[in-house]
Amino acid sequence: MMTATFLILAAIAVAGSATAMSLRNAVHCVLALTAGFLGLAGLYLYLGAQFVGLTQVMVYVGAVAILAVFAIMMTHHPGEPEERFSRLWLSGFIIAAAVFLTLARAITLAFVASPASTTQAAAPSVTAQQIGDTLLSRYVLPLEIIGLLLTAALIGAVIIAMDPKDDPSHTEEEATQ
């Protein structure tokens, strides 16, 4: 069932992620990772999940990659690391394997549970409208909680970035100096 389209997209995703892990320059890593994200987005689109695929591009390429790039530019990173692989590779490998097994189990279980998996049913086409309807009816509580969490994070970011001049404790410190 592996078509050429799938193979190309999967190759982009895997190659992008693998390159992101093996390159030395942090910015190159981010760019390679972005290619991996785009490959993943292509896979979603290929599966007919337009909304998820395009949101993947918007969030991961438009926001996460830019955030990573800004983090690299704003922080001081002296030289490049000596070793190509971290010394903690074993624990990293264990965590990755555990995550993979959990996800694989969840996905295979989901397929066993649904009766449609026995016959090759056509993939359901989910429109943005359906996703919106479900988000605002069945999943409205999780949505609100996430919204609250993000607002809290936003306020936290503003407080961290705020000018310390407005803070009375800082002015006292400056006065004593």
Partner 1 sequence: MIALMNSGAFSAENLDQIFVLAKHALLARTPGMLQPLASAIISIVPLMIVFPLLFAITTILERKGLGRMQNRYGPNRVGPFGLLQPAADGIKALIKEDVVPAAADQLVHFFAPVVFVAAAFLGYSVLPIGRNMVLVNLNAGVLFFFAVGSVVELSVFMAGWSSRSKYSLLGAMRAIAQMISYEVPLVLAAVPAIMAAGSLSTVDIVEAQAGYTGIFPHWFLFTPWGIVGFGLFLIAATAESNRSPFDLPEGESEIIAGYFIEYSGFKFALFFLAEYLGMFATSALGITLFLGGWSAPLSFLSFIPSWIWFFTKLLALIFFFIWIRGTLPRLRMDQLMGFAWKFILPMALLNVFVTGLWRFLPAGPLNSIRWAVCAAVLAAPCIVLSQSLKQKKKLLLRTYHFAE
Q: Kindly list the residues in this chain that would bind partner 1 in the complex (CB under 8 A).
A: 27-28, 31, 34, 50-51, 54-55, 57-58, 61-63, 65-66, 69-70, 73, 127-129
Check if the beta carbon of residue 46 is closer than 8 Å to that of residue 6.
yes
56 by Cβ neighbours in 10 Å (0-12 / 13-18 / 19+) ranks as: buried
Smallest gap from residue 161 Cβ to partner 1 (A): 12
Give a three-class secondary structure readout of 136-165.
Answer: HHCCHHHHHHHHHHHHHHHHHHHHHHCCHH
Report the candidate in 24, 59, 63 with the shortest Cα–Cα distance to residue 44.
59
Q: 10 or 26: whose CB is closer to partner 1?
A: 26
Smallest gap from residue 150 Cβ to partner 1 (A): 13
Smallest gap from residue 144 Cβ to partner 1 (A): 17
Q: 79 or 115: whose CB is closer to partner 1?
A: 79
Smallest gap from residue 31 Cβ to partner 1 (A): 7
126 by Cβ neighbours in 10 Å (0-12 / 13-18 / 19+) ranks as: middle
Smallest gap from residue 71 Cβ to partner 1 (A): 12
Residue 37 tokens, joined: 């994200």
Q: 10 or 68: whose CB is closer to partner 1?
A: 68
Residue 7 tokens, joined: 């193979």
Q: 63 or 94: whose CB is closer to partner 1?
A: 63
Q: 14 or 73: whose CB is closer to partner 1?
A: 73
